[in-house]
Structure 1
């Protein structure tokens, strides 16, 4: 099993995880707009407390958004920097996929979930997932939806109900390690029109 360091910085929660064999150690901290003050220290403390050296890592994974513009960029830059320094690849994990996995782990009876995450005032990210034979499938990727158009179906799960953690990013990275990329190719995921300054009609 690959040894993976995973990062989640797309919300108010700053979270890091690493696996030691099949065991996963995770450290999370609620730190709105202060991730940059804590993330590297959290990584170092997590690795040290689990007797893992950076040179032992095979991959770095990060929650790539869409999400907090600053948080997504921070996660990408930290993942790129660590991977470049070690000469290893990066696994880019959509934030909605990591959230969907957390939902399934908490509620294994679920067959579908529609995820609603806050973008900014009046706008939300909406994505949908389903499971067939315990395999997660993305029905539709994140799209930007006005508040009045947010779904209200029974399978809706919001980011107020789920605290995003790096453990699910790591779990997905293990499953998607064959899709890892070079550090310079590990880019954040953004949506057209997702800007705090301007949203054009129809986007």
Structure 2
């Protein structure tokens, strides 16, 4: 199986290949440069691994939540590539990817993932590991830090994501947190392979970003 994954939902920009379970990734922090750098990163990664687009079984991307502009960049890129080679797309939650990173890097089976949503809110989700893959245990939402939802139970939760810069405001406790963690294409590639095998890929024309919020910024009267 060969899957190309990409993510531009936050300040980070990353692309990864899942080659029969072996993950190769290129990750950089590129604020406001995703649209200029992403295609080159994809091209370089494919060339280094001697893989062509036509060799792929599917493409995957971090569908959100995250920055509106970043999500549109990723959606447009994955749609264009998928149309070109007539291959399906796997949409992976950026919060779930953060949780998978918590499992992969920190061996945590219970992760509270949070991304800074601006406007005094965070994108929020809770995940637990099952068979080596993180699965949601609450519905993802955008919410004020002091109103976040934590599933019941005595879990040793790990915090992942930029939303944890508001740790002193979050109504959640963890054994540790990593506010400098970003969603990564490597984890999207891992999750996408399993989702693809379970039949969750969709045609390119059905790919959609997941915003969770309709407003980009507060109105002057709301500030």
TM > 0.5: yes
Structure 2 SS opposite 1:188: coil
Task: Verify: 1:122 aligned to 2:98, yes or no.
Answer: no
The aligned residue for residue 87 of structure 1 is 86
Q: Tell me if the contact between 1:113 and 1:157 (Cα under 8 Å) persists in the aligned partners.
A: no
Partners of 2:131 and 2:50 in 1: CA distance: 37
The count of residues paired between Structure 1 and Structure 2 equals 196
Q: In structure 2, do the counterparts of structure 1 residues 157 and 185 end up closer, same or farther at CA, with 3 Å as the change threshold?
A: farther
Partners of 2:144 and 2:216 in 1: CA distance: 13
Partners of 1:130 and 1:155 in 2: CA distance: 15
CA drift of 1:133 comes to 5.7
Unaligned runs of 5+ in 1: none
CA drift of 1:19 comes to 2.5
The aligned residue for residue 43 of structure 2 is 44
CA drift of 1:71 comes to 0.4
Q: TM-score, normalised by structure 2?
A: 0.81
CA drift of 1:132 comes to 4.6
The aligned residue for residue 166 of structure 2 is none
CA drift of 1:72 comes to 0.7
Q: TM-score, normalised by structure 1?
A: 0.89
Which stretch of the first structure deviates more once superposed, 128-137 or 39-48?
A: 128-137
The aligned residue for residue 33 of structure 2 is 34
The aligned residue for residue 141 of structure 1 is 139
The aligned residue for residue 212 of structure 2 is 191
Which stretch of the first structure deviates more once superposed, 148-157 or 88-97?
A: 148-157
Q: Tell me if the contact between 1:113 and 1:155 (Cα under 8 Å) persists in the aligned partners.
A: no
The aligned residue for residue 195 of structure 2 is 176
RMSD: 1.9
Partners of 1:10 and 1:186 in 2: CA distance: 15
The aligned residue for residue 151 of structure 1 is 171
Unaligned runs of 5+ in 2: 148-169
